[in-house]
C-alpha cells in the first residue's frame, strides 16, 4: 500500500467516533484491588524518562498520590489499610466526601454500589468528563475480574478442605477399625459439623463407596511410591509372606512384604502385595501370587532370591513351586537369585535328613 510506513500494521477494526479508546480504561482494568478502585480516583498522567506516572486522588482526604508506570497499587491500598510506621489516612473513618463510606476492617467492597464508586474519567481530546455510566462500566469490569478471582480461590479452598476431610476420615476408619458406613452416621456428621460449620463437609461423606474408593486410591499411591523406592535402592531385597484365614474360614488373605538395606545402612520394609486367596489355598497358589506380584511391579531384578515364611508345609511347597515356575518361564534372573534357590533345595534336603536322623535316635 502506498503511503504506509514499513512495519506498520493496520488494526483489524477501526474504532468509530463513539468508540474512542481512553487510556484511563486500560489503567483501571489493570487494577485488581477493590480498595484502590473505591477510595481513589484516577485524575491525570505524566511521562517522565519514558515512564508514565499516574496521579490518584484519595476520596477520603482529597490528597493526591502518584504511582509510577502502573505499579505500586499496594502503596495506595496501604494508605487505607495502614502502613507500618505511617498509619492510615486520617480521614478513612470519616471521609470528607459524604458519598464515600467509612473504612471498617472486614468490609466487603464487592457489594458496593457501582454508581457511588465511579471514578472521574475525561476524554483525552475534548477534556470533557465522560458520563457516569462509562466510568462505572470501567470500574465494573475490573471488579468483575476481582470477583471471579475471589470466587475461584474460594472454590479451590473448598475443594482442598473436602479432600483433607476425606483423607482424615479415611485414616480414622482404618486406624480404629471402623466400618465404612461409620462416616454416614448422623451422629458423626453432627460432630464434624460442630468442628467445621460449612456446607462443604457434607461432600466428604457421601457414601461408604466413596470411602472405599479413597482407600483404594490411597493404597495405590503408597504402593507405587514404595515400589519406586525399592527400585532406586542400591541393594537387593528379600520377600516375606504370611497368610491367614478369618474365623469360620470365610476368607483367606496373603500379605507380602520386602526388606532391604538403604543407602544409609538402615533396614527398611514395605508391603508390596495384599491379595485375597481361595478357601483351599495351597503352595502352588502362594507361588503364583508371589510370581504375579514380582511381575506386576517389575522387581525381579532386585530380588535376592530369599523367601522368609513360617514352617508350614504350604510355604515350603510354595518355594519349590516358585522355583519350578521360574525354570519353566525361562526367566533371566541374576546369579545371586539362582544360587539362593539352589541353596533352598540343599537346605530342604539337609532338614529332611536331620529330621529322619532325630526320629531314629528317639527310637
| pLDDT for the residue numbered 346 | 43
* Mean pLDDT along residues 39-46: 83
Average pLDDT over residues 290-298: 80
Where among 179, 213, 247 does a domain terminate? 213
Residues contacting residue 9 through CB under 8 Å, at least 6 positions apart: none
Q: Quick one: what percent of the chain has pLDDT higher than 70?
A: 56
Residues 195 and 262 in one domain: no
| pTM for the whole structure | 0.42
Average pLDDT over residues 52-80: 79
In this predicted structure, what is the pLDDT of residue 293?
A: 81
Domain containing 196: what range? 155-213
- Nearest alpha carbon to residue 164 among 201, 127, 124: 201
Residue 45 lies in a domain: yes
pLDDT at 118: 41
Compute the average pLDDT of residues 4-12.
Answer: 37
Which range is least confidently modeled, 127-131, 255-259, 280-284? 127-131
Q: Judge if 238 and 273 occupy the same domain.
A: yes
- Residue 139 falls inside a structural domain: yes
Q: Of 94-98, 125-129, 256-260, 331-335, which one has max mean pLDDT?
A: 256-260
Q: Return the higher-pLDDT residue of 207 and 131.
A: 207
Question: Is position 2 within any domain?
Answer: no
| Same domain membership, residue 248 and residue 182 | no
Confidence of residue 130 (pLDDT cuts 50, 70, 90): very low
* Residue 235 and residue 314 in one domain: yes
Give the chain's mean pLDDT.
69
pLDDT in tens, 336-361: 555 555 554 444 444 454 455 455 55
CA–CA distance, 12 with 92 (Å, rounded to integer): 46
Least confident range from 112-116, 198-202, 353-357: namely 112-116
Determine the pLDDT at residue 4.
37
Q: Same structural domain for residues 346 and 254?
A: yes
- For the chain, how many helices (H) and strands (E)? 9, 7
Q: How confident is the model at residue 192 (pLDDT cuts 50, 70, 90)?
A: confident
Domain boundary among 213, 235, 259: 213
Q: Return the pLDDT at 181.
A: 81
In a domain, 4, yes or no: no
Check residue 17 and give its pLDDT: 46
**Chain segment 134-189, per-residue pLDDT in tens:** 445 555 555 566 666 666 666 667 677 777 777 888 888 888 888 888 887 777 77
pLDDT score, position 178? 84
Residues 235 and 125 in one domain: no
pLDDT of residue 240 exceeding 50, the answer is: yes
For residues 77 and 128, membership in a common domain is answered with: yes
Calculate mean pLDDT across residues 34-50.
80
Give yes or no: residues 268 and 351 share one domain: yes
Q: Look at residue 12 and tell me if it is in a domain.
A: no
pLDDT in the model for residue 177: 83
**102: how many CB neighbours lie within 10 A of its CB?**
11
More confident residue, 95 or 144: 95
**Same domain, yes or no, for 281 and 304?**
yes
Q: Among 106, 133, 150, give the residue marking a domain's end.
A: 150
Cross-strand pairs, 254: 243, 275
User: Considering the domain boundaries, does residue 29 fall inside one?
Assistant: yes
How far is it, in rounded angstroms, from Cα 25 to Cα 121?
8
The whole-angstrom separation of Cα 254 and Cα 245 is 9
Among 122, 147, 143, residue whose Cα is nearest residue 41 = 122
Does residue 17 fall inside a structural domain? no
| Number of domain units in the chain | 3
What are the two backbone dihedrals, phi and then psi, of residue 154, each rounded to the nearest 5 degrees? -65, -40
Are residue 145 and residue 160 in the same domain, yes or no? Answer: no
Q: Is residue 1 part of a domain?
A: no
Running DSSP on this structure, what letter comes out for residue 278? Answer: P
pLDDT, residue 347, reads 45
254 and 280 part of one domain: yes
Q: Does residue 69 carry a pLDDT above 80?
A: no
Specify whether 265 is located in the same domain as 351: yes
What is the DSSP code string of 127-156? Answer: -PBPPHHHHHHHHHHHHHHHHHHHHHHHHH
Amino acid at each position: 500500500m502506498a503511503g504506509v510506513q514499513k512495519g506498520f500494521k493496520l488494526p483489524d477494526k477501526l474504532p468509530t467516533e463513539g468508540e474512542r479508546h481512553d487510556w484511563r480504561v486500560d489503567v483501571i482494568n489493570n487494577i485488581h484491588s477493590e480498595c484502590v478502585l473505591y477510595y481513589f480516583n484516577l485524575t491525570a498522567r505524566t511521562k517522565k524518562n519514558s515512564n508514565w506516572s499516574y496521579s490518584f486522588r484519595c476520596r477520603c482526604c482529597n490528597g493526591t498520590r502518584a504511582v509510577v508506570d502502573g505499579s505500586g497499587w499496594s502503596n495506595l491500598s496501604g494508605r487505607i489499610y495502614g502502613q507500618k510506621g505511617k498509619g492510615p489516612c486520617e480521614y478513612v473513618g470519616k471521609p470528607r466526601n459524604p458519598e464515600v463510606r467509612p473504612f471498617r476492617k472486614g468490609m466487603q467492597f464487592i457489594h458496593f454500589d457501582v454508581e457511588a464508586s465511579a471514578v472521574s474519567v475525561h476524554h483525552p481530546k475534548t477534556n470533557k468528563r465522560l458520563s457516569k455510566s462509562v466510568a462505572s462500566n470501567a470500574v465494573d469490569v475490573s471488579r468483575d475480574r476481582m470477583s471471579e478471582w475471589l470466587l475461584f480461590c474460594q472454590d479451590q479452598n473448598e475443594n482442598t478442605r473436602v479432600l483433607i476431610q476425606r483423607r482424615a476420615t479415611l485414616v480414622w476408619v482404618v486406624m480404629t477399625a471402623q466400618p465404612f458406613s461409620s462416616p454416614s452416621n448422623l451422629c458423626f456428621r453432627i460432630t464434624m459439623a460442630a468442628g467445621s460449620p460449612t456446607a462443604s463437609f457434607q461432600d466428604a461423606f457421601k457414601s461408604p463407596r466413596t470411602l472405599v474408593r479413597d482407600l483404594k486410591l490411597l493404597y495405590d499411591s503408597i504402593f507405587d511410591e514404595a515400589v519406586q523406592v525399592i527400585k532406586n535402592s542400591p541393594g537387593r531385597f528379600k520377600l516375606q509372606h504370611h497368610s491367614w484365614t478369618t474365623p469360620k474360614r470365610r476368607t483367606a488373605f496373603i500379605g507380602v512384604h520386602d526388606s532391604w538395606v538403604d543407602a544409609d545402612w538402615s533396614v527398611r520394609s514395605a508391603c508390596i502385595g495384599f491379595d485375597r486367596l481361595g478357601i483351599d489355598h495351597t503352595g502352588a497358589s502362594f507361588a503364583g501370587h508371589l510370581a504375579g506380584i514380582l511381575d506386576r511391579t517389575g522387581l525381579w531384578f532386585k530380588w535376592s532370591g530369599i523367601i522368609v515364611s513360617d514352617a508350614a508345609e504350604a510355604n515350603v511347597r510354595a518355594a519349590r513351586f516358585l522355583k519350578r515356575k521360574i525354570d519353566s518361564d525361562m526367566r533371566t534372573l541374576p546369579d545371586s537369585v539362582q544360587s539362593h534357590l539352589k541353596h533352598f533345595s540343599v537346605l530342604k534336603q539337609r532338614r529332611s535328613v536331620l529330621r529322619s536322623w532325630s526320629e531314629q535316635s528317639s527310637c
